[in-house]
Structure 1
Amino acid sequence: RTTVFVLGDARTNQSDPNLPAVREIARRARRVYWLNPEPTGQWGTGDSAAPAYADLVEMHECRTARQLGGLVGRLLPV
């Protein structure tokens, strides 16, 4: 089993967010982490499906190299 990293802002551009596909990925993978470059306060605004995706997979704000380094340090065993 594998770990999946999704990198993206979770915006749908007014399209179907295809939650069943994300749910299936989460079911098949051991872990799924979504790294979202938008500030947490913008999740769920406009066409953002971030709250719906975050209900299915672990989502983290990841805007900077410092945030990325901290996140990787917390998530991956060394």
Structure 2
Amino acid sequence: MILGVGVDIVGVGRLKEALSRTPRLKERLFTEEEISYCESKPRPEEHYAARFAVKEALAKALGFKPRWEEAEVRVDRSGKPYIA
């Protein structure tokens, strides 16, 4: 059953700037596991932006915005993202 479709685009530079400007924002938007994953990558800002876009798209598809920590973006062994 499909509830809705959600699409979102996030500017990597814009999100990077927001995270730099507001240090606690990272902890408000992302789970510990997401932060750990992103920080382990060479360009973490790209991974943060991707996760933020997924969460915004999920909210659009559902028709309401779940709390940020309720939607965690993970990757499976093949690298495919999914929402947990």
User: What TM-score, normalized to structure 1?
Assistant: 0.28
Q: Which has the higher contact order (CA 8 A, sep 6+)?
A: 2
